[in-house]
Structure 1
């Protein structure tokens, strides 16, 4: 047994020559050492199997091997795997487990990864596998690092957290890992070839095609009159387009941060203005060009008079448009950008990435700050096994309270204690399901952000409020920011102890509340600061009985809309070193502080944290990530589908978006009849999608987001939301069983099609359908007034309509009806789907009858998982599994012997078996014929079906 550190044996040189490294064999791999740094700055490297399917690679610009203290990878003990070493001659050495073979070039140190059948999985670039570039940071030497791999043009890869570009398969693209409101960066990717890479670096990182994005003048630009060198920029009065304020040449659109506002023409009044850029471009390269635009306000982009982008984003939180456009060398393309800033603060930046000169498709990792380069290669037979390897490294996904999988209601914000209690009462009066209600920010007195005190004028008795919520079988979360106002006693205490980042206060930047106040964030990298912040929260909030913790703005968003460098500077220095070296890890340590505090305070109670950012390992801290302050727009809605799937494939099982979107266009404040109907349909369609997400949660700015505030009872939007609320609760036996599997089997709830159908090449880039578990194929409706959509049905299975039982064959695209009330949901043949009764909260009917829907056409199995739903005893083996299996050839359903038990377990269960086949056409909306009613007491039962 050993810890996760390098164990070197004595020198065993295998091959030494000029310019080549000395190569040593170790008990777990190889150690390479160069007499002088290579042209790429490498002087030593270790390659170690830490498990049969996991290899750690560490490269250093010096000879001494010094272990990295990783924030993502948990310290643990591994058993040395059985390995076979092989000297393959002058050029190669290899080391092989029973899962994976690693070959290392003895001349250059570059690596290739193979499965045990000799199939190449991944190879490092043989010309420049990795590179160190020395630089300086805060007076100390450091390095920019880059690791390069070559992959095939057709290899799809995913993960890296949650991003808002709508991209799903990242092959040929560039992904920026920089925590930002709406972007959650996790440095772990997976390939459809069933391997993954965990990049062990906490700083700003680019992944994929990491070449710098270029300003538009990387292309040959022409203005609207054909003059070369720029586009024509026109700034004019939005109310009177003939009133033109400024016309000027511009070749670099870069209004990217708060400090860039001065670049706008002096006469350009953002509240009253529009602008457009017109002309054409020519490229020296043929191929897909990646156009990247950061924007706020309304933006339309036309190429050759074809609308390629039409977006809106709130002025204070810029978004990203990213699209590929095929371009032919030396051909002219007309381009036009039309922009309405829609506010007194607005951002616009446009860049381009022409096709790479490389023949191979690049997959690179490039980070700003490092002293070493370290990554983990994780192999598996499928993507689930790769994710399991990631969690082996970074920690188990702990199980959330069962109530977390019910319905969440929230808004920005409940301004008084009475408002919140009235909402809970309305749910209970209408008998509509709810398990969680959330108190958003500004419950404190205006001048006391960070004090954790309530404004007693609006919240006279917070504990009584919490108690009243609990009486109605509802849990309550509260928003806690790491932000503290300068003049508060909390700030003064934290500053005296060195717990505060000083830069924002030193610059006296004001926030947007009231007259504006100065503030900063506490240093989560200081363990004493984390403990002090939890103790403050414990004293003033936890003591009142709150059940969960909404950790907002933990990117950290110390001051919004600054440049990348300013944001990093504002988080520096940390207790561990320069902010630039640790920037992306802030949300991980913020959650750790609360998790550790809660484990000490309530050592047998599950933790529930909601956070606006994520990082590698967050799943071990009982955290859910939501997709940030996205816009209430159809295109933003669509982007959430790919964002949720990629986040889930980053090893993080708990994800949600603001149903209905957070930020709202002004046309919805006092809507016309047409806008009112669009608002209702947008919310209904998003609600339908949310019912099948891991966490089912409504939140957003005004208009109010409760179902009864969105539409009246006689409106189809109201009835649709009520239907899916009830359906969510009926699906709790299925969903909670999946949740149990996230801990016990490293499972993933929200699944891309490629996870379950890896051999179907059609699914590799499907970005608008997903699976909830392995049974339910969900196809959201994200276009206004759409009443049908094309749905791809993966091959290898038949599919049944969830609502009606109509059967379809796989390996085809079909058009499915999608009336206002419903979205297409299909069930895979061979599925066993446990469906319970309608409830107002997850355990209202603990002894409910469960219907077992059996979808014939293939063998099937399902483990019905149960535990007490609240304690940590599940991790000690206190849970039960009822195994259910169906044999297609014999038509026998077996409900097996119950495995395990827990305190409070229901010993006897009533099951109703419903058979779905091509002939029966039974669905959840059908008048169902029950094939068999079963009283189950924990002993095996065989049931003959027809």
Structure 2
């Protein structure tokens, strides 16, 4: 009996050895990682760097090498090790360990020292359903993952759902006017996941799984990246999809537009009025129909008789020390030169888009169809034609491009529409990447002809990787309401967490459908003011909308509470320009973000994870927008009920101060400990803003436009309570010479124990740089702070405070 048992044991061991040898034959180490041929599925792991791994899955017997539209990184050489154990192959880069179950292909991701997975696929959830994609054999694909029950994830783009943590939801990811989808999320556990697919996709998270399901794809294709924290994850995402170039300094000033200025005289007069009122302004925007009727839609030419001399218009704006950008679209009317040229190369789509009628009257008259068609931005020749006509605008001095309908507008979408042939296959296959392609075409073509002026694009839609194209995305034509204002905070933060750092919204909301009296409605006036206060801490501060004009003088005059509050925050924006521009340098040079969800800087404080109405602007300022009405009351007169302003009582807002830091009230310098809720008074001209202890905050001069005065006498505010550092960045304010190292930095370091501020040697140089300057250094205290005046000539100075 003993012999029989021993024989069975020997046989079992022998069988396992044979099986492992068979498995080993199916595991192929590649230049980038490993390729595993399993029973029904091939799995490839491709390391792009030690912290980022690409996972490809496709049916056994098929070969695929998909070319990404978003990912532009070239994989670096990574030394990986393979470890085989019964039923599992583990590939390690030194930063990330990836385990593949050899029976079902389940992939799990672990950190270098982690024994439990950071993320793992749901076993058996990889799905390839045969799909006929406009005559091409393909698959509908799905992959599900298992997240911890309480794990907070963020990202997925800019939506109007009002949901900060992206759990327990179902999202139909198809680009739209007010929804920009980026199939990327990141976790508080320090990892990110990018689903690299451009077709209509369902993202769903429930108690069973977290999944992406795409209508069409040749394979499952996603990237796992470990960054350790949110900034690290964003750095990995940008290393894959491209770094964000710098915007000109003037783009960070205040912008005014409306739907629409109806003549060049009206547009120039708006800038002139701001100058007469001594209210700062840097940009004005011309919206649509400067081209004339809808049959000339997006002609990129001033064919409207009320714009008789566009070159003079641009020159008049420039003489008033402002900049101008102009609305351009992704579609063309049948009488435009672009339409005719694009039609010859079969680069126009046949689906319903805006405008539907050739008549400008509302509602659209179906008896007079506009014939407007969207162009094939996936076609490089079509993108070149687009720029061929746009460069005429560039030649007369237009400073940037407002790329409207960059989703593009697509009404009543059908399967037939999605079958539309593009240069890269069916429209279905590449649908969500349309904004990436059309925005990229403008950026790349302008860079070919002009490095003296930085590309600046304002766009309504975005996709993964768009940060590399000098574009600021706005949240679309949102309908004005208090809920909408709150939703913008959430949308901007989740969008930034996808790695795209520049975002803004129409201050005041685009449509005023909820306010019958428009600007005469006191609740709207309060809402507009609060929205503008929030906008002062966005990467772009831009007032815009339909139904009523929004220029400051439409809200009264100096001495009126609303007018004064608006002016106060516009001026505050300009005071913060040295801080904002230096923060923008950190975005470009060090993969930082401007709008920062609190979980980015305080991940260990669990209280901050769901907070949706506060954020960091840069790494020093904690901003708490007011997103509820406070200063209106109902007035009943007979059967009528109206709203009236009521400033008789100063209201308050609760704000949470994250743990681990001391905080100073920006307005009063009052110190507060972190880890607590505080109640702050919020008159109409105040929102709670706090400065983190250890911050060094530069304050700029009072100006009418961003470059009016040199920064030769900056106030430097030091907030004690912790050591700190700040890098003041300066360059020529426009052009791409900074890419060649033509800029300077001055590093300020605060030693809190010794109460010494060290201003280091200036690094770098650029034409026009200040050789000598004064810093007025203030140690911020609740009582009058101590100020030291420092003459600085580029060499280290120590200041005892």
- Tell me, yes or no, if structure 1 residue 718 matches structure 2 residue 563: yes
Could you say which residue in structure 2 is the equivalent of 1:689? 534
Task: Choose the corresponding residue for 1:937, options 777, 781, 793.
Answer: 793
Could you say which residue in structure 1 is the equivalent of 2:628? 783
- Unaligned residue ranges in structure 2 (runs of 5+): 1-16, 632-650
Are residues 525 and 929 of structure 1, via their aligned partners in 2, closer, same or farther at CA, if it must alter by over 3 Å?
same
Could you say which residue in structure 1 is the equivalent of 2:636? none
- Tell me, yes or no, if structure 1 residue 799 matches structure 2 residue 663: yes
Are residues 808 and 587 of structure 1, via their aligned partners in 2, closer, same or farther at CA, if it must alter by over 3 Å?
same
| Aligned pairs for 1:800-839 within 5 A | 800-839=664-703
Could you say which residue in structure 1 is the equivalent of 2:284? 437
Are residues 460 and 640 of structure 1, via their aligned partners in 2, closer, same or farther at CA, if it must alter by over 3 Å?
same
Shift of 1:567: 5.9
C-alpha separation in 2, matches of 1:619 and 1:776: 23
Q: 3-state SS of the aligned residue for 1:744?
A: helix
| Native 8 Å contact 1:16 1:22 kept in 2 | no
| Native 8 Å contact 1:907 1:937 kept in 2 | yes
Shift of 1:670: 6.0
C-alpha separation in 2, matches of 1:668 and 1:172: 36
Could you say which residue in structure 1 is the equivalent of 2:721? 857
C-alpha separation in 1, matches of 2:343 and 2:684: 55
C-alpha separation in 2, matches of 1:642 and 1:106: 41
- Tell me, yes or no, if structure 1 residue 372 matches structure 2 residue 207: no
- Tell me, yes or no, if structure 1 residue 22 matches structure 2 residue 23: no
In the TM superposition, what whole-angstrom CA distance separates every residue of 1:387-409 from its partner, at most 9, and x where no partner exists? Answer: 01100000011111111111111
Shift of 1:64: 4.4
Task: Choose the corresponding residue for 1:72, options 70, 73, 97.
Answer: 70
| Aligned pairs for 1:82-93 within 5 A | 82-87=79-84, 89-93=85-89
In the TM superposition, what whole-angstrom CA distance separates every residue of 1:536-581 from its partner, at most 9, and x where no partner exists? Answer: 1113x2222100001100111044xx24657645xx2111110000
Are residues 567 and 765 of structure 1, via their aligned partners in 2, closer, same or farther at CA, if it must alter by over 3 Å?
farther
- The worse-fitting range, judged by mean Cα deviation, of 108-117 and 681-690 is 108-117
Could you say which residue in structure 1 is the equivalent of 2:634? none
Could you say which residue in structure 2 is the equivalent of 1:533? 386
| Native 8 Å contact 2:296 2:334 kept in 1 | no
C-alpha separation in 2, matches of 1:891 and 1:764: 34
- Tell me, yes or no, if structure 1 residue 100 matches structure 2 residue 107: no
- Tell me, yes or no, if structure 1 residue 146 matches structure 2 residue 150: no
In the TM superposition, what whole-angstrom CA distance separates every residue of 1:815-861 from its partner, at most 9, and x where no partner exists? Answer: 11111111000111111111111211111111341111111111111
Q: 3-state SS of the aligned residue for 2:432?
A: helix
- Tell me, yes or no, if structure 1 residue 746 matches structure 2 residue 602: no
| Native 8 Å contact 1:59 1:373 kept in 2 | yes
| Native 8 Å contact 1:170 1:208 kept in 2 | no
Shift of 1:18: 8.9
| Aligned pairs for 1:341-360 within 5 A | 356=207, 358=208
Task: Choose the corresponding residue for 1:495, options 332, 343, 358.
Answer: 343
Could you say which residue in structure 1 is the equivalent of 2:403? 551
Could you say which residue in structure 1 is the equivalent of 2:637? none
Task: Choose the corresponding residue for 2:314, options 466, 487, 493.
Answer: 466
Could you say which residue in structure 2 is the equivalent of 1:523? 376
Shift of 1:184: 0.9
Are residues 376 and 890 of structure 1, via their aligned partners in 2, closer, same or farther at CA, if it must alter by over 3 Å?
same
- Tell me, yes or no, if structure 1 residue 408 matches structure 2 residue 255: yes
C-alpha separation in 2, matches of 1:522 and 1:740: 35
Are residues 382 and 524 of structure 1, via their aligned partners in 2, closer, same or farther at CA, if it must alter by over 3 Å?
same
Shift of 1:29: 2.1
C-alpha separation in 2, matches of 1:568 and 1:26: 37
Backbone CA RMSD of aligned residues: 2.1
In the TM superposition, what whole-angstrom CA distance separates every residue of 1:297-336 from its partner, at most 9, and x where no partner exists? Answer: xxxxxxxxxxxxxxxxxxxxxxxxxxxxxxxxxxxxxxxx
C-alpha separation in 2, matches of 1:729 and 1:185: 32
| Aligned pairs for 1:321-720 within 5 A | 356=207, 358=208, 362-446=209-293, 447-504=295-352, 510=357, 513-514=360-361, 516=368, 517-539=370-392, 541-559=393-411, 562-563=412-413, 565=415, 568=418, 572-665=420-513, 667-669=515-517, 676-720=521-565
User: What count of residue pairs does the alignment treat as equivalent?
Assistant: 759
| Native 8 Å contact 2:749 2:759 kept in 1 | yes
Q: 3-state SS of the aligned residue for 1:98?
A: coil
| Native 8 Å contact 1:14 1:24 kept in 2 | no
| Native 8 Å contact 2:712 2:772 kept in 1 | no
In the TM superposition, what whole-angstrom CA distance separates every residue of 1:658-701 from its partner, at most 9, and x where no partner exists? Answer: 00000012644467xxx521121111111100001111111001
| Native 8 Å contact 1:122 1:149 kept in 2 | no
C-alpha separation in 1, matches of 2:22 and 2:81: 28
Could you say which residue in structure 2 is the equivalent of 1:772? 617
Could you say which residue in structure 1 is the equivalent of 2:43? 45
Q: 3-state SS of the aligned residue for 1:176?
A: strand
C-alpha separation in 2, matches of 1:175 and 1:401: 36
| Native 8 Å contact 1:98 1:116 kept in 2 | yes
Q: TM-score, normalised by structure 1?
A: 0.78
C-alpha separation in 2, matches of 1:379 and 1:598: 35
C-alpha separation in 1, matches of 2:242 and 2:753: 41
| Native 8 Å contact 1:162 1:644 kept in 2 | yes
Q: 3-state SS of the aligned residue for 2:272?
A: helix
- Tell me, yes or no, if structure 1 residue 877 matches structure 2 residue 724: no
C-alpha separation in 1, matches of 2:350 and 2:76: 45
C-alpha separation in 2, matches of 1:662 and 1:20: 61
C-alpha separation in 2, matches of 1:547 and 1:906: 26
C-alpha separation in 2, matches of 1:563 and 1:18: 50
Could you say which residue in structure 2 is the equivalent of 1:33? 37
C-alpha separation in 1, matches of 2:547 and 2:653: 30
Shift of 1:121: 4.6
Q: 3-state SS of the aligned residue for 2:182?
A: strand
Q: 3-state SS of the aligned residue for 1:78?
A: coil
Could you say which residue in structure 2 is the equivalent of 1:236? none
Q: 3-state SS of the aligned residue for 1:717?
A: helix
C-alpha separation in 2, matches of 1:863 and 1:800: 21
Are residues 508 and 442 of structure 1, via their aligned partners in 2, closer, same or farther at CA, if it must alter by over 3 Å?
closer
Shift of 1:98: 2.9
Shift of 1:492: 2.5
In the TM superposition, what whole-angstrom CA distance separates every residue of 1:421-458 from its partner, at most 9, and x where no partner exists? Answer: 10000111111111111001111111311322213421
C-alpha separation in 1, matches of 2:334 and 2:165: 45
- Unaligned residue ranges in structure 1 (runs of 5+): 1-12, 38-42, 210-354, 923-927
C-alpha separation in 2, matches of 1:749 and 1:14: 57
Are residues 14 and 518 of structure 1, via their aligned partners in 2, closer, same or farther at CA, if it must alter by over 3 Å?
farther
| Native 8 Å contact 1:657 1:697 kept in 2 | yes
Shift of 1:15: 6.0
Q: 3-state SS of the aligned residue for 1:904?
A: coil
In the TM superposition, what whole-angstrom CA distance separates every residue of 1:266-295 from its partner, at most 9, and x where no partner exists? Answer: xxxxxxxxxxxxxxxxxxxxxxxxxxxxxx
Could you say which residue in structure 1 is the equivalent of 2:782? 921
In the TM superposition, what whole-angstrom CA distance separates every residue of 1:41-94 from its partner, at most 9, and x where no partner exists? Answer: xx21101211011101111124344321110011x433312333322x202222
| Native 8 Å contact 1:31 1:45 kept in 2 | yes
In the TM superposition, what whole-angstrom CA distance separates every residue of 1:473-502 from its partner, at most 9, and x where no partner exists? Answer: 111000001221124443233212211113
Shift of 1:149: 0.8
| Native 8 Å contact 1:445 1:453 kept in 2 | no
